[in-house]
Chains A and B, each alone.
Chain A
Amino acid sequence: MIRLLLLAALGLTLALLWGVDPHAIDLGNRLAAPSVAHLLGTDHLGRDLATRLLWGALPSLMAIVLVLLGGLGLGVIAGGIISLGPAPLRDTTQWLAETALAVPTLVTALVLSALFGAGVFTVAAALVVTSWAPYALTIAALFDRIRGEPYWHATQALGVTLPSGVGRHLLPHAWPALGALAGADAGRAVILVASLGFIGLSADTGRPEWGAMIHEYRMFLFTEPRLVLAPILACTCVTVLLHGMLDRRKT
């Protein structure tokens, strides 16, 4: 998480230091080849590709933060309910979680985009709706296992209250497994933001965003592949990095 924030800060400072406006149109300099002034060249409107790539990271980073907060929070609460809650609530939550597992994320994002307009918040909401279930089920399974352990029985015998028991003895065991899931989800957030941008659903087509850039530059795939490959590479690097960073569990 700290490294993520650092990465975000780094990206922003770089863009600011660059001092180049990602929207600055320079029609005399269209489709310029990479040079010192334009590290990755310019696009069909003469905008600097490198600056646009850097600014394009912003929606993805926002989505990651929102998804991790929302999905993890909901998942931990729901997992606690499934494992420790009263019977009717428990069964409903369990059913909801198992159903949510089967809900296609992209379709949810499409429907939410139709309702609320496309954007980072819509993507994040779609991901939260479909990503809390694995956290909940993992947590519930883990809690159930720990509640059979002697040290849990000991806490009960000693009269430790439920919240402090959960915080002290249950949750610390959950973080490694949750971290792995979170790594995958952070990657999925980046991919979904870019996918929606790519299929032509981004909040504002003018604002740099990797998927929207690929969508916009699609017609140059055959003549100027650089324009399409650069955002693809950026997006791929970030997801692979996220997996490596948060998922330390080796399969």
Chain B
Amino acid sequence: MAASAHMLGRLTLSWLAVVAAAFLLLRLMPGDPVEVFLSHVNISAGPETVAAYRVQWGLDGSVAGQFLRWLGGFLTFDWGVSYQTGRPVATDFAARVPYSAAIGFGGMSLAVIAGYALGFLAAHHPDGVPDKLSRSLAVAGQALPAFAVGLILLWVLGVQLRWIDALGGGSVERILLPALLVAFFSIGSMSRLTRAGFLEVKSSPYFRTALAKGLSPLGALWHHGRVAGALTLIAGLAPELAWIVGGTAVAEIVFGVPGLSERVVQAVNHRDYAILQPYIALVAIWMAVALQGARLLRRVFDPRVA
């Protein structure tokens, strides 16, 4: 119990550090958001209008005070209004998060399951077809640009084969294809990680004993290697989880999904920090939860990790 409280405290601390650093960075930038906005909409405003906007956007007072107010608002789902549109950020995000979450989670689960299975088969028969497939997928995942693959997919499926409605459409176009795209770029490296774990088992004495007992090679590898394979996969997950976030953004934009990323890109162009701050906070929560989840999974599977 004490251990989990300690863990939660550490997680919260590092989340706070990231969010505070981002907040400070955005605040220290030259260019007052209020003046940028007013010059954008061509309003020549008096000082009292500027002050009113400052109060409305929570830009009055000291930076520390601003941060605390923002943090309190964030925790109570009062995320303020977009500088650009004036609409509440929380309702805007609430409509968009499901798409992004479905694509991200879906892509990650697909990649883990497919990568694990492929890694197992690749280790069973090194240099066999699954092994070659896993190797080429790993290279493709490193070397090909995600948006290019997505666009070509769109072109082939939508224009050449006319299987999908390329300009919008239902859940297939909005969730399944983007999730597949995200998964495609992760399967290769995940299968390489899994394969390494299985191969280590294959070279150990107890695996030979299992074979000598008369277990089939495939059965013995599964029985004795499945945990080791899962462990190396989990241990190498951090860069993949980071990729999932970026990959989801690219996939959303390629397939025109009304998810978070589309909004965030607009916000970047307009320096709309009211959108960027909750986005950074959400991404930081996702990364912290995902990494901690991976660490916990490791502890469950591996009694050696204290």
B264 smallest CB distance to A (angstroms): 6
Contact with A along B131-169 (1 / 0, CB 8 A): 000010011001111111001101100110000001000
Contact A235 B145 (CB under 8 A): yes
A103-B242 in contact (CB<8A): yes
Q: Mark B228-263, 1 if CB is under 8 A from A, else 0.
A: 000000000011011101110110010000000100
A-side contacts of B26, CB under 8 Å: 114-115
A8 to chain B, nearest CB (A): 19
Contact of A115 among B25, B139, B147, B243 (CB under 8 A): B25
Instruction: Please list 8 pairs of residues, one from A and one from B, whose beta carbons are closer than 8 Å in the complex, sorted by A's number.
Output: A104-B283, A198-B250, A199-B265, A201-B268, A214-B148, A228-B151, A239-B143, A251-B135
B145 x A191 contact (CB < 8 A): yes
Question: Are B145 and A236 closer than 8 Å at their CB atoms?
Answer: yes
Which residues of A are interface residues toward B (Cβ below 8 A)?
A: 98-99, 101-107, 110-111, 113-115, 118, 130, 134, 184, 187-188, 190-191, 194-195, 198-201, 211, 214, 218, 221-222, 225, 228-229, 232, 235-236, 239-240, 242-243, 251
Beta-carbon contact of B159 and A111 below 8 Å: no
**Chain B, range 278-306, C-beta contacts under 8 Å to A:** 280, 283, 287, 291
Measured in the bound complex, the distance between the Cα atoms of B22 and A50 in whole Å is 41
Sorted nearest first, the 6 A-B pairs with minimum C-beta distance are A106-B246, A104-B245, A232-B148, A114-B268, A104-B242, A191-B145
Per the bound structure, the CA–CA distance linking A110 and B264 in Å amounts to 8
Known: A104-B242, A105-B246. 12 other contacts (CB 8 A): A102-B239, A102-B291, A104-B283, A113-B268, A198-B147, A222-B166, A229-B152, A232-B145, A236-B145, A236-B148, A240-B144, A243-B139
**Set of chain B residues within 8 Å of A190, measured between Cβ atoms:** 145
Q: Chain A residues with Cβ under 8 A from B246's Cβ?
A: 104-107
Closest Cβ neighbor of B246 among chain A residues: A106
B267 at the interface (CB under 8 A from A): yes
Q: Which residues of B contact A111 (CB under 8 A)?
A: 22, 25, 276, 280
Contact between B280 and A194, CB atoms less than 8 A apart: no
Interface of A: prevailing SS: helix
**A-side contacts of B269, CB under 8 Å:** 200-201
When A and B form their complex, what is the total count of cross-chain residue pairs whose Cβ atoms lie within 8 Å?
A: 122
Contacts of A134 in B (CB 8 A): 239
CB distance from A226 to the nearest CB of B (A): 11
State whether B271 touches A114 (Cβ < 8 A). Answer: yes
* B-chain residues with CB within 8 Å of residue A113 when the two chains form the complex: 268
CB pair B145–A195 under 8 Å, yes or no, is: yes
Whether the pair B142, A184 counts as a contact (CB closer than 8 A) is yes
- Given contacts A195-B145, A195-B146, whether A107 and B253 have CB atoms under 8 Å apart is no
A199 near B242 with CB under 8 A, answer no
Cα distance A228–B151 in the bound complex, in angstroms:
9
B192 close to chain A: CB less than 8 A = yes
With a cutoff of 8 Å between Cβ atoms, the chain B residues found around residue A243 in the complex are 139, 142-143
Given contact pairs A114-B271, A239-B143, A232 touches B151 in the complex (Cβ within 8 A) = yes
- Nearest-neighbour CB distance to chain A for B97, whole angstroms, equals 15
Residues of B near A195 (CB, < 8 A) are 145-147, 250
| Chain A residue, CB-CB nearest to B286 | A104
Neighbour of B249 across the interface among A107, A115, A184, A191, CB < 8 A: A107
- Given known A195-B147, A243-B139, contact A102–B287 (CB-CB < 8 A): yes
Please tell me if the beta carbons of B192 and A251 are within 8 angstroms of each other in the complex. Answer: yes
Query: At the interface, yes or no: B29 with Cβ under 8 Å from chain A?
Result: yes
Partner of A214, one of B151, B166, B280: B151
